[in-house]
Amino acid sequence: MEPWIFPDNATLSTGGIGACCTSLLDQFGSKVILPGTHEFNDYLSSYYTKQSASLQPLCVVSPSTADDVSSIVRTILFLSETIGEPDSSQCHFAVRSGGHGIPKGASNIAGGVTIDLRSLDDIEIKEGNIASLGVGATWDQVYLELEPLGLSVAGGRNAGVGVGGLITGGGISFFSPRYGWSCDSVVNFEVALANGTVVNANDEENPGLASALRGGSNNFGIVTRIDMRAFEQDLLWGGMSFYDLSTAPDHLKAFVNFISPDTYDPYSSLITTYVLIPGVPPSIATNLEYTKPEANPPSLQPLLSIPALSNEADDAKITTEAQALIANIEDDARSLGAYDPFVYINYAASWQDPISSYGTEQVNRLRKIRRQFDTKGLFTGNVRGGFKILE
């Protein structure tokens, strides 16, 4: 795509949607949706959380190529610098892959531009069993493409999660006990930088950037494609069961046994949660997965033997209780000499600081890489959501 030439009056004819959205509408036409339309309302309702759906951007732009993303970034950077504060807030933006992020503002924005990457959803298997994934694809789409080939990747555990958000946050997979973080399987990132340049980041090209994107979230650029190592995979076994809250002691005992080095099974995965639904008695939900074609494996028997069941107003209170609970858990861990400050960014609450949990040395390294690839601070100043690398 040729560089966009901005007219002299680009900041003047803005209507009610701001200069950035006006310019993007001129460039991308039907790829831009505006408030007050059925398409816009349908878009907001597609978010995973009500917190994200409640935010109303001035416009949503849906690029279909990396060149589109490049042009969008250059447009936003140019107009942000041209307009200046305070009006440049109309050029603040959010980036959406799957829209599954929990913190408010992680993938949507109020009063700015939301860049919706879901059209970047190509999935291709390259030589050497490398899965080339558009970041707008969701993991159910990826697995459906790979399964007929007898392949899989260390991807997400939920169907609607986007490729981009999971990987740049690190990524936990049902295959992680054998293959590590999801980002450990990445061999190349395609990234649109703050100046609009599209580059590759891997062990040979821009290795520092490649390293920073493994857990560095949205601080360095917009990832448009991810290439991952795939591996041979047969059928797997799993499902979800619900239990009466009275079985909690049995679950805790089974969980401790599950992670014991003596009984650890790298093919097993477990997610146990407390379920609180208005009008329904509290319960426990357990998601059990085994990445071999073996039903009821021995490593999960302690949980399988527990009898299963067959059948916004409180946000602040819940947040307060959750903070207190986590603080108590951390205090207990410290007293046992088992405390680890690491916070997984994709599961972090808005009041937590996962970037700092990486440690001073790693944070300083991320700051250095950010200064190298985003000299004007576009992804710090204009991308308002997510967890930022502070000076």
Question: What pLDDT does residue 390 have?
Answer: 82
- CA 5 to chain CA centroid, Å, is 33
Given this model, what pLDDT does residue 314 score? Answer: 64
SS3 287: strand
Give the CA distances from residue 176 to residues 83, 168, 220, 226, 371, in Å, rounded to whole numbers and listed in that order. 46, 15, 25, 18, 32
Where helices occur in the chain by DSSP H, the ranges are 18-28, 38-45, 50-53, 66-83, 139-146, 163-168, 176-179, 207-212, 248-258, 301-304, 315-335, 360-373, 378-381
**What is the pLDDT at residue 312?**
62
Q: What six digits make up the tokens of 133?
A: 């994934």
Q: How far is CA 169 from CA 88, 131, 225, 226, 364, in A?
A: 28, 19, 15, 13, 18
**Can you give the pLDDT at residue 269?**
92
307 phi, psi to nearest 5 deg:
-60, 125
Q: Is 231 helix (H, G, I), strand (E, B) or coil?
A: strand
Question: How high is the pLDDT of residue 74?
Answer: 96
* CA dist., res. 94 & res. 350, Å (int): 16
Non-local (6+) Cβ contacts of 251 within 8 A are: 243, 272, 284, 286, 303, 306
Dihedral sign (CA 244, 248, 253, 257)? positive
What is the C-alpha end-to-end distance of the chain, expressed in Å? Answer: 35
Tokens of 49: 């959380």
The pLDDT value given to residue 4? 39
What is the pTM (predicted TM-score) of this model? 0.86
Question: Quick one: which of 289, 258, 288 has its CA closest to 272?
Answer: 288
pLDDT in tens, the chain (391 residues): 333 334 444 433 445 788 999 999 999 999 999 999 999 999 999 999 988 999 999 999 999 999 999 999 999 999 998 887 667 789 999 999 999 998 889 999 999 999 999 999 999 999 999 999 999 999 999 999 999 999 999 999 999 999 999 999 999 999 999 999 999 999 999 999 999 999 999 999 999 999 999 999 999 999 999 999 999 999 999 998 888 889 999 998 998 888 888 888 999 998 988 888 777 788 888 888 999 999 989 888 888 888 876 556 667 777 888 899 899 999 999 999 999 999 999 999 888 999 999 999 999 999 999 999 999 999 999 998 899 998 7
* Closest CA relative to residue 346, chosen from 213, 175, 180, 217: 217
59-61 β-sheet, strand order: 32-33, 59-61, 113-116, 93-96
